[in-house]
Structure 1
Amino acid sequence: MERKRYTFEEAYEASVKYFGGDELAARVWVSKYALKDSEGNIYELTPSDMHHRIASELARIEAHYPNPMSEKDIYSLLDNFDYIVPQGSPMAGIGNNFQTGSLSNCFVIGLDGHPDSYGSIIKIDEEQVQLMKRRGGVGHDMSDLRPKGTPVKNSALTSTGLVPFMERYSNSTREVAQDGRRGALMLTVAIKHPDSERFIDAKLEQGKITGANVSVKIDDEFMRCVEEERPYTCQFPLDSNDPEVKTDIDAKALWGKIVYNAWKSAEPGVLFWDTILRESLPDCYADLGFQTVSTNPCGEIPLCPYDSCRLLAINLYSYVKNPFTPEAYFDFDLFREHVAKAQRLMDDIIDLEMEKIDTIIEKIKADPENMEVKETELNLWFKIKAKTLKGRRTGLGTTGEGDMIAALGLRYGTPEATEKSVEVHRALALAAFGSSVQMAKERGAFEVFDAARERNNPYICRLREVAPELVADMEKHGRRNIACLTIAPTGTTSLMTRTSSGIEPVFMPVYKRRRKVNANDVDVHVDFVDESGDAFEEYIVYHPKFLEWMRISGIEQRRDFTQAELDELVSRSPYNKATANDIDWLEKVKMQGAVQKWVDHSISVTINLPSDTPVELVDRLYMEAWKAGCKGCTIYRDGCRSGVLISVGENKKKDREKAGEEKDENSADEVKSTSGAADMPAPMSKVKRPIELEADVVRFQNNKEKWIAFVGLKNGQPYEIFTGLADDDDGIFCPKSVSKGKIIKATDDKGNKRYDFQFINKRGYKTTIEGLSDKFNPEYWNYAKLISGVLRYGMPIDQVIKLVNGLELDSQSINTWKMGVERALKKYLPSGTPAGGQKCPNCGQETLIYQEGCLICTSCGSSRCG
């Protein structure tokens, strides 16, 4: 029986109702998690359908074991994203027979033997790509690669060091796209490696290593050397008693470079590696293949080679009873019950993953390539399957921490809030490990469990101190899972739970935006008219739980709050001084360290700092993180990454450019346009860009990556073109039914210029996508300004295409952008236009013409499209 299909618009409208009018949550769910086939057909109307799909599959696995949970019970835990929330890969993949993918969110790879051989380097490259195409994020360590200048036994004579291979792995990652979801990579190196300083500096150069996160594995000895201002010894190999390379470095100076680079570009992150290894339960079995070597791309799962992990999050807000009232309390009884069930479901997902891996293996075997080509991928999945079954690792975590704290009447970033968080995460640890022990009784312990190996592990010692009966039971019966807990960034998932993300505070509880309106429409309220006569309506965006606080507090939701009234409203709420930019950052680091003691994997957390943060504060935060017992730390200073990629000044106009806004002075707006004919205007002739331009929407696809172009037209010819990813984290959403509209020069609520795209939707309503510049990667936007400037000066389109084709760009994403611009512009070439200066690749003659977007040779008849 054929399954019912839905259009994007049908699923989107139904999901808007499901989410109570939250359009962003609906769009994220339909775009990323609704069941789809490879053609993009949608088979689920709302998240309720998805939750039934997931519950059915989990209940099928439960039926294989004693005391199974029913499908109804499982569905009640998932429904409305209230309690248990599968993360990305499990949410999209469980019960999905349309795609051959993994349910694992995280992988780490690495070879024993001779990992610094060229063959090993190439094999790691291939393995990471094979995993990324199955939807997994990958990490691997580079500490075993020879430092620059050391002898090698090939014609190169000496090693090139780490950096060229960082670029190689980064570029491979950027080539992989999974239905608009890019590959994700973490590269790590030990601070002890002689090339660690080059590693630390590698991402500062514009356009380099753009496809990977990088983190430095820092040991306790290095940190003590920093504190005591002593030299630190780097060597290669790292653990050799007779190293080939050995050199003393200024530890404090290198630490200063790490801190400065993090302040400037948000990388490298730091991993306190001795803390990770000391606390790690899997490393009790290091000699059996569980030695931790790197982490996943966000750092919350340290892993051994060829192990993987799947993620679930528990929505902490839902366990606050009577939220935002004096009677608010955390329901620990219900929480413990649900944590135990969530841990069972995590173990069930491992069985589902085994089925997925078997399907992947069978597909590889059936692929038409010869076995020599398929061998690496096939062996990769055999190794992952074996390691997964051996340890049965799980990644149970939480989300909504910031909202939970506010709902309890506490303020994030205070000792009182930290104390409550620790209480909650301690309860989570005890319930999850208790569930794992119970499953060991019913289902069997993980294969290599040995209580004696773990007896002195610091994490087990803490469990023993607060729950001696649990540890005694575990020593007798074992536990089902080698490691259980993590706190991952929940990202788009938190948009669907409609809570704060992961362990983070709320970013902003309420803010105002403007949207353009037609002043002549009935019932339109105009709040602002710019110098061009465009009318705008102001509207307020509320964080969902802030809105709930208002409702419970009896505060009417009005559309006409002034900014002063909004500020006063926030000051009365539990979110006051508790947002990402307002909290006590040192207290946040202390909170992370305190919670980390009850999380056996790690915690993904980013400390968001304002742009004027001094370097010295980053130094203090990183040092405090080490002392507090954090396993890792990342900071993000507002605007720091844009500052690396694009040259910015100190004035406000250049700040807007950094964010992708066009400047007012000497911009491409001010040049004269022609219809595209060969007659060029005088170079200094200037006219204002029209306020409105008719526009075409052009869609195209590179591999499975979906791109969109907005082409502004004047006199029917391209006048400007803005191109970037569609339906992606870094891209823009526009309904597929829309092919035409207008690009309108607008002004945001701070008076900054921007471009909006306006169209008429299926119901006949005028709809505006605000700020095209904010929706696209700043790299795409700045190149778009360049090409638009050329178009406005009147260069013939075939010559613009030739110009774009000739651009030599390092970034893979920009090269993809370049192809998209060519494709979009070819649509506007009159048939028969000569492709001047281009030779036919078949016969070598300069007899190529454009015909319906394709290049046709009039001599030999060969053609090339796209």
Structure 2
Amino acid sequence: MAYEEVTVKTTSGEKIFSQEEAVKASQEYFKGDDLAARVWVNKYALKDSFGNIFERTPDDMHHRLAKEISRIEKKYPNPLKENEIYQVLKDFRYIVPQGGPMTGIGNDYQVASLSNCFVVGNDGNSDSYGGIMKIDQEQVQLMKRRGGVGHDLSHIRPKGSPVKNSALTSTGIVPFMERYSNSTREVAQDGRRGALMLSVAIKHPDSESFIDAKLEQGKVTGANVSVKIQDEFMKAVGEEKNYVQSYPTNSKNPTYKKEIDATRLWKKIVKNAWQSAEPGILFWDTITRESVPDCYADLGYRTVSTNPCGEIPLCPYDSCRLLAINLYSYVENPFTREAKFNFGLFKEHIHFAQRIMDDIIDLELEKIDAILEKIISDPEDEEIKFVEKSLWSKIRHKAQEGRRTGIGITAEGDMLAALGLEYGSDIAVDFSEEIHKNIALESYRSSVFLAKERGPFSIYDAKREADNPFITRLKEADEKLYEDMMKYGRRNIALLTIAPTGTTSLMTQTTSGIEPVFLPVYKRRRKVNPNDKDVRVDFVDEVGDHWEEFTVFHHKFKTWMEIQGYELNREYTQEELDEMVKKSPYYKATSNDVDWLSKVRMQGRIQKWVDHSISVTINLPSTATEELVGELYFEAWKSGCKGVTVYRDGSRSGVLLSNNEDDNKKVDIFPTDRPDKLEADVVRFQNNKEKWIAFIGLMDNKPYEIFTGLSDDEDGILLPRSITKGYIIKSKDSDGISRYDFQYVNKRGYKTTIEGLSFKFNPVFWNYAKLISGTLRHGMPIHKVVELVTSLQLDNETINSWKAGVARALKKYIPNGTLAEDAKCAECGSEDVVYQEGCLTCLSCGNSKCG
């Protein structure tokens, strides 16, 4: 399709490019990669608040970044030249600023931070209602500036504790989890909802409630949750001993203690992670013991939580900016017998990366000054602005004082494959450890050199760090580096991480972060009309929809194919594809192939050379047992990992298809002979100005039937808002006609029965309820039922609103990861759009839409 160029100029002379023009030019830049082009245009191209685009391709962006970083360089001795900076950024080949820095550097159209990660909190001291609300406001203020936020809940007193107000006792942690989660969902960042990490110490008496909170449908859907586990608890589990929880969790003289069965709680953590990939685990003693900033804990650098993906543990009001080094680009003669890694160029660029990261801190300080200036100039009452102004002042202080950086990597999987090393093998793990050891040594060496030229971070104290395990490791590896650090100090309090690179890897066209390739070859499906001319139908699903399947090659696998002489522009049979993969260095090296224990041990070995943490996922097959998950968690702790996440295949159904045809033909059918009693969820929704209520009967935790109606005491059902669960009882009246009653148990343990659900409600809605329930009982996938509901041809606005409310209620039960058919991401154009906790989420760029 040809696009007409409609470039215009603003009154200041700047060029404005149309969306089509920028996408077309960027497609050429990315050599035909439409997804990479659309992600860049929608997510990273310079824009104003009206959506006007001021950059045509990523090359314009790289010139923008180089110009601004060069401006900061000129403040210091021996500055890098603008072209030197541009050359290491160009084409995403070597150094790739991530997220906030890529979007915000040189962007005068938005008043936003460059930081990717923040942690807020009350320094672990205040659990007053005012203190809790202050954190709520702080996280919202940060999210509106594009930051991901984490904070810890261990300071909140456990449920039932006495309080000196009219409530008399504390409600505990869970209600505040819901509050923070809801606040996150309310904040939009260019169409994306905020990102939040909530953590709690296993020592906290409410930790079990925290662990269970996300299992309840519709609760805490706006946050990731992780448990901070101390060595003492792990030892109690290993020795099958009891464990004492206490509050305050860090007090030597706690006011509350509770002895629990450590093994029972551990099994619950493992079971929940097996079911839903949460909670994540943070091995907290390892984190704080290894943390260099915690050498300054008494000066405000005590680590309390992490960012949403867990790779940056932080103290309250500290922040971090991220940058990735593209490891694949240092492989010379990739995928050949002459392949080798260019360590000389690699080390040189690590010094570039650390210098650029330090420059970005100065750029961030400028951004924070602009934010503070805007807050001060806003025509709001000073009392309203106080929390926001104080928040950014604290963040500025920490950024300037500690000058924390976050150098990471991407393309580890492709680098190993290009060198002919099988990901997860002993030799590959040895090589990866050597890579990350070099990053640690050279980045710290660069920071020492910067301290010599620019001055150390202001509270640097060699004596404080003398016994830190990470610093000791550097000393043992390079005595001269340690001596120089003792003499000149260090520019940055902490330097390294390994983050998930997400959209960054789309633009580097490599594997993501430290991960292996997901699949070198896979299939995607596209729904087609079988009556259209020249349409090929490869698959018909259980509801009769027709699909065409097409093959997708991983970018660097295509590079391997070209080097081996394979044609790219032809169709291959499945047998040919299988044979091709077997011959490639990606064989038995995908995320599902890599031995799980070896991956955990690899993470532990690399973690020794990363002063922050590592974001990595252990992918397990659907057949993996809870016992295996527990074993992997234990191995992660013993191997020195700081955190671990497990994802079991099949707990979410994804958009990428395996090569096994049988994997995609399983359909769960409920028994049509309804049991007399079903567990039920209560879901409330707004129908225009009326309050409505839905009762959703569940079988195996999946919707089986639905009843809806007005929520009032005249024409419908008046139910206490505290009631969210109960039972739907099926019985027969005196005439032998089936009837359905709702039964619940109140706080005092008394049962209450509301009779005649089918007769309380308008007959129109009863008929639609029967239609929906029938499709549910016969095994139609939930997302298909939602499509059916939304396609109903109803007349008046009230019923249409009812239709939307029912669809929203049912969306909560769609399995996470289910492909949203015929949906495209509004932000990047990708078809990889899935349901995630009832919201449509793009796997490519993270854009999320709820409703």
**TM class, shorter-length:** 0.7 to 0.9
- Equivalent residue, structure 2, for 1:760: none
CA distance in 1, matches of 2:614, 2:786: 37
Matches within 5 A, 1:268-279: 268-279=279-290
Cα shift at 1:517: 7.5
Equivalent position to 1:587, from 587, 590, 598: 598
> What is the letter of the counterpart of residue 375 of structure 2?
I
Matches within 5 A, 1:317-336: 317-336=328-347
Establish whether residue 213 from structure 1 lines up as the match of residue 224 from structure 2: yes
Cα shift at 1:535: 9.1
Residues 530, 241 of structure 1: CA spacing in aligned structure 2 closer, same or farther, 3 A cutoff?
Answer: closer
Deviations 1:450-495 (A, max 9, x none): 0011011100111111100000100110000000000000001100
Residues 307, 813 of structure 1: CA spacing in aligned structure 2 closer, same or farther, 3 A cutoff?
Answer: farther
- Equivalent residue, structure 1, for 2:464: 453
Cα shift at 1:513: 3.9
> What is the letter of the counterpart of residue 597 of structure 2?
L
Cα shift at 1:539: 3.5
Deviations 1:407-450 (A, max 9, x none): 11011111111100000000111110000000000000001000
Contact kept in structure 2, 1:140 and 1:293, CA below 8 Å: yes
- Equivalent residue, structure 2, for 1:159: 170
Contact kept in structure 2, 1:400 and 1:494, CA below 8 Å: yes
- Equivalent residue, structure 1, for 2:410: 399
CA distance in 2, matches of 1:585, 1:163: 33
Equivalent position to 2:95, from 84, 104, 126: 84
Establish whether residue 41 from structure 1 lines up as the match of residue 68 from structure 2: no
- Equivalent residue, structure 1, for 2:788: 785
- Equivalent residue, structure 2, for 1:363: 374
- Equivalent residue, structure 1, for 2:692: none
Cα shift at 1:5: 0.9
Deviations 1:666-688 (A, max 9, x none): xxxxxxxxxxxxxxxxxxxxxxx
CA distance in 2, matches of 1:528, 1:21: 25
Cα shift at 1:801: 2.6
Establish whether residue 149 from structure 1 lines up as the match of residue 160 from structure 2: yes
- Equivalent residue, structure 2, for 1:427: 438
Matched position secondary structure for 1:441: helix
> What is the letter of the counterpart of residue 81 of structure 1?
F
Matched position secondary structure for 1:640: coil
> What is the letter of the counterpart of residue 255 of structure 1?
W
Cα shift at 1:326: 1.0
Cα shift at 1:143: 0.4
CA distance in 1, matches of 2:249, 2:320: 28
Cα shift at 1:238: 1.2
CA distance in 1, matches of 2:531, 2:210: 59
CA distance in 1, matches of 2:475, 2:122: 36
CA distance in 2, matches of 1:639, 1:177: 30
Contact kept in structure 2, 1:539 and 1:559, CA below 8 Å: no
Matched position secondary structure for 2:645: strand
Residues 394, 655 of structure 1: CA spacing in aligned structure 2 closer, same or farther, 3 A cutoff?
Answer: farther
Cα shift at 1:637: 1.1
| Larger mean Cα displacement after TM superposition, 222-231 or 505-514 | 505-514
Cα shift at 1:518: 9.0
- Equivalent residue, structure 2, for 1:750: none
Establish whether residue 801 from structure 1 lines up as the match of residue 800 from structure 2: yes
CA distance in 2, matches of 1:215, 1:411: 32
Establish whether residue 237 from structure 1 lines up as the match of residue 240 from structure 2: no
Residues 81, 199 of structure 1: CA spacing in aligned structure 2 closer, same or farther, 3 A cutoff?
Answer: same
CA distance in 1, matches of 2:88, 2:529: 45
Residues 387, 533 of structure 1: CA spacing in aligned structure 2 closer, same or farther, 3 A cutoff?
Answer: closer
Equivalent position to 2:389, from 357, 372, 378: 378
Residues 438, 636 of structure 1: CA spacing in aligned structure 2 closer, same or farther, 3 A cutoff?
Answer: same
- Equivalent residue, structure 1, for 2:627: 616
CA distance in 2, matches of 1:76, 1:321: 18
Cα shift at 1:808: 11
- Equivalent residue, structure 1, for 2:360: 349
Cα shift at 1:654: 6.8
Residues 143, 374 of structure 1: CA spacing in aligned structure 2 closer, same or farther, 3 A cutoff?
Answer: same
CA distance in 2, matches of 1:551, 1:534: 36
Establish whether residue 299 from structure 1 lines up as the match of residue 310 from structure 2: yes
- Equivalent residue, structure 2, for 1:284: 295
Equivalent position to 1:128, from 139, 152, 163: 139
- Equivalent residue, structure 2, for 1:540: 551
CA distance in 2, matches of 1:79, 1:427: 23
Deviations 1:55-104 (A, max 9, x none): 10000000111111111011100111000001011011101111110000
Equivalent position to 1:60, from 57, 71, 80: 71
Matches within 5 A, 1:425-504: 425-504=436-515
Matched position secondary structure for 1:123: helix
Give the count of matched residue pairs.
Answer: 685
Cα shift at 1:512: 3.3
Matched position secondary structure for 2:16: coil
CA distance in 1, matches of 2:425, 2:434: 14
Superposition RMSD on alpha carbons, in Å? 2.6
Contact kept in structure 1, 2:622 and 2:651, CA below 8 Å: yes
CA distance in 2, matches of 1:151, 1:407: 62
> What is the letter of the counterpart of residue 469 of structure 1?
K
Residues 287, 13 of structure 1: CA spacing in aligned structure 2 closer, same or farther, 3 A cutoff?
Answer: same
Contact kept in structure 2, 1:540 and 1:559, CA below 8 Å: no
Residues 254, 565 of structure 1: CA spacing in aligned structure 2 closer, same or farther, 3 A cutoff?
Answer: same
Contact kept in structure 2, 1:264 and 1:641, CA below 8 Å: no
- Equivalent residue, structure 2, for 1:509: 520
Contact kept in structure 1, 2:204 and 2:246, CA below 8 Å: yes
CA distance in 1, matches of 2:366, 2:203: 41
Q: TM-score w.r.t. structure 2 length?
A: 0.77
CA distance in 2, matches of 1:256, 1:464: 40
Residues 813, 396 of structure 1: CA spacing in aligned structure 2 closer, same or farther, 3 A cutoff?
Answer: farther
Contact kept in structure 2, 1:526 and 1:535, CA below 8 Å: no
Q: Any unmatched runs of 5+ in structure 1?
A: 644-649, 659-777, 815-865
Matched position secondary structure for 2:568: coil
CA distance in 2, matches of 1:373, 1:516: 51
Cα shift at 1:610: 1.7
Equivalent position to 1:625, from 625, 636, 643: 636
Matched position secondary structure for 1:115: coil
Cα shift at 1:519: 9.7
Contact kept in structure 1, 2:158 and 2:171, CA below 8 Å: yes
CA distance in 1, matches of 2:415, 2:124: 48
Equivalent position to 1:248, from 249, 256, 259: 259
Matched position secondary structure for 1:340: helix
CA distance in 2, matches of 1:53, 1:338: 20
Residues 324, 132 of structure 1: CA spacing in aligned structure 2 closer, same or farther, 3 A cutoff?
Answer: same
CA distance in 1, matches of 2:385, 2:643: 37
> What is the letter of the counterpart of residue 260 of structure 1?
K
| Larger mean Cα displacement after TM superposition, 285-294 or 630-639 | 630-639
Cα shift at 1:809: 6.7
Matched position secondary structure for 2:228: strand
CA distance in 2, matches of 1:206, 1:94: 40
CA distance in 2, matches of 1:590, 1:530: 43
- Equivalent residue, structure 2, for 1:732: none
Contact kept in structure 2, 1:38 and 1:98, CA below 8 Å: yes
Cα shift at 1:114: 4.6
Contact kept in structure 1, 2:23 and 2:38, CA below 8 Å: yes
- Equivalent residue, structure 2, for 1:29: 40
- Equivalent residue, structure 1, for 2:698: none
Contact kept in structure 2, 1:207 and 1:811, CA below 8 Å: no
CA distance in 2, matches of 1:272, 1:177: 32
Cα shift at 1:803: 1.8
Matches within 5 A, 1:420-819: 420-513=431-524, 515=526, 526=536, 528=538, 539-640=550-651, 783-788=786-791, 790-791=792-793, 795-804=794-803
Contact kept in structure 2, 1:301 and 1:601, CA below 8 Å: yes
Cα shift at 1:787: 2.8
Contact kept in structure 2, 1:174 and 1:812, CA below 8 Å: no
